Amino acid sequence: MLDLDTLWGAIKDGFQQKVAPTAFNTWISTAIPVKLSNNRLTIKLPSELHRDYWQRNLTQPLVELAYEFAQVDIQPVFVIDDDDNSQVSTLDHPATATSFSPSAKLNPKYTFDTFVIGKGNQMAHAAALVVSEEPGVMYNPLFFYGGVGLGKTHLMHAIGNKMLADDPSTKIKYVTSEAFTNDFITAIQSKTQDQFREEYRNVDLLLVDDIQFFADKEGTQEEFFHTFNALHDDGKQIVLTSDRLPGEIPKLQDRLVSRFAWGLSVDITPPDLETRIAILRNKATADNIAIPDETLSYIASRIDSNVRELEGALARVHAYSKLVNQPITTELVASSLKSLKLDRRSSELTIPLIQEKVAKYYHVSLTDLKGKKRLKTIVMPRQIAMYLSRELTDSSLPKIGNEFGGKDHTTVIHAYDKIADALKTDSDLQAEINNLKTEIER
């Protein structure tokens, strides 16, 4: 008869060989085996964070180590120390050790307080606030769309954080669409669809990030459709984000598109200069970085479309100033951005440069490249130039559209998707794009 202490001793020895000492001390030494019955091994962990880590990274090796030692398939069950409500999902479902994405991995820094309101996001911000105060009533679903790094995730988490602050018992689930898909696949593989449904339908607020990755995933869309309906019927709030409007997501089922239209869709556009400066100033204060106003303006003027890059630039400048042991000044920033090649994307790699190189490469005139002619010999280079503009610069979709004779951002998305799709199979095109990239980045 396999005894708990002997088994755990062997598992610990095994982990000692497998993982680095710090990891061992952090994750393994803090775990306490509680019970072994019917091959179910109950392990007590200090926090949700530990449990998430175990579920993600250590469950498989644990099962293997136990098998190696005792030739039994154990099913780990994690409970959290000193929390009576922490009887995690696996306990309620003795037949499996399936683990889905943890419930509310909200970033505590993403709150309404830390969000700077500007022209491009004020509507989104207001809608988010309304939803956080009266979830499931006004805008359901709330759908944020817009380019990368513009604060969609931040606002989504702010809603969750506010609801939790108002009522700590609120049940919230935040996942990316990929995590939803993975959970769904796990549920099918381990025949735990009921548990999956329980996880996703028994919440007050469901946040799904980047749903453009649902494109092409028929089965997942089907399941999400039912999840959506169940929550909506129950008056539970749903918040979604995507880089584009639902109708522009390729192969997104019509019934989902129409359901998403029940609520409110708000776009977030890149912040103007004043907002960028305010974001930088807030961030500098929060991180205790001493930096003159004119230097903040300088950084904000160099990076003009993506808040994530803006914050990244500040962090790098800060690190650089510590490295060279000098205070942050505009001169220091200029040289650090240069040495880090940080502003290359935004300053040197411009859309006009890309257009010029592409036009030359395919022997078409710049006017035609930016114009409206539908000749195949022109359309293809135009789409390639749009694709490269999105790949190589930080420009927003509307900005790219503008640079191509005032085209709509949906035209740019279409061009991008078309080329990205063709690149998967067309080796000639791959070679051409590679040549062009070398040409442009030279």
Ligand X SMILES: Nc1ncnc2c1ncn2[C@@H]1O[C@H](COP(=O)(O)OP(=O)(O)OP(=O)(O)O)[C@@H](O)[C@H]1O
Residues that bind ligand X (CB under 6 A): 110, 114-116, 121, 148-154, 210, 243, 279, 307-308, 311
Nearer to ligand X, 52 or 272 (CB): 272
Tokens 């169940």 -> residue = 230
Strand order in the sheet with 32-37: 32-37, 40-45, 75-80
Q: How far is the CB of 108 from ligand X (least distance, A)?
A: 12
Q: How far is the CB of 283 from ligand X (least distance, A)?
A: 7
Contact 205, 236 (CB under 8 A): yes
Tokens 């820094």 -> residue = 109
* CA distance linking residue 326 with residue 332, whole number of Å: 8
Q: How far is the CB of 113 from ligand X (least distance, A)?
A: 10
Phi-psi domain of 93 (left: phi exceeds 0; alpha: psi -120 through 50; beta: other): beta
| 151 in a labelled binding site | yes
Q: How far is the CB of 164 from ligand X (least distance, A)?
A: 18
| Burial classification of residue 352, based on how many CB atoms lie within 10 Å of its CB (0-12 exposed, 13-18 middle, 19 or more buried) | exposed
* CA distance linking residue 409 with residue 168, whole number of Å: 41
Q: How far is the CB of 366 from ligand X (least distance, A)?
A: 31
Nearer to ligand X, 394 or 432 (CB): 394
| 149 in a labelled binding site | yes
Nearer to ligand X, 157 or 232 (CB): 157
Q: How far is the CB of 300 from ligand X (least distance, A)?
A: 13
* CA distance linking residue 56 with residue 78, whole number of Å: 12
Nearer to ligand X, 198 or 391 (CB): 391
Nearer to ligand X, 187 or 307 (CB): 307
| 136 in a labelled binding site | no
154-178 in b/e burial notation, b at 16+ Cβ within 10 A? bbbbbbbbbbbeeeeebebbbbbbe
Nearer to ligand X, 264 or 307 (CB): 307
Q: How far is the CB of 356 from ligand X (least distance, A)?
A: 29
Nearest to 57 by CA among 71, 45, 69, 68: 45
Residue nearest to ligand X (CB): 151
Contact 307, 314 (CB under 8 A): no
Measured in residues, the chain has a length of 442
Nearer to ligand X, 58 or 155 (CB): 155
> What would the two tokens of residue 358 be?
């592409």
Please enumerate, by residue number, every residue annotated as part of a binding site.
149, 151-153
Please enumerate, by residue number, every residue annotated as part of a binding site for ATP.
149, 151-153
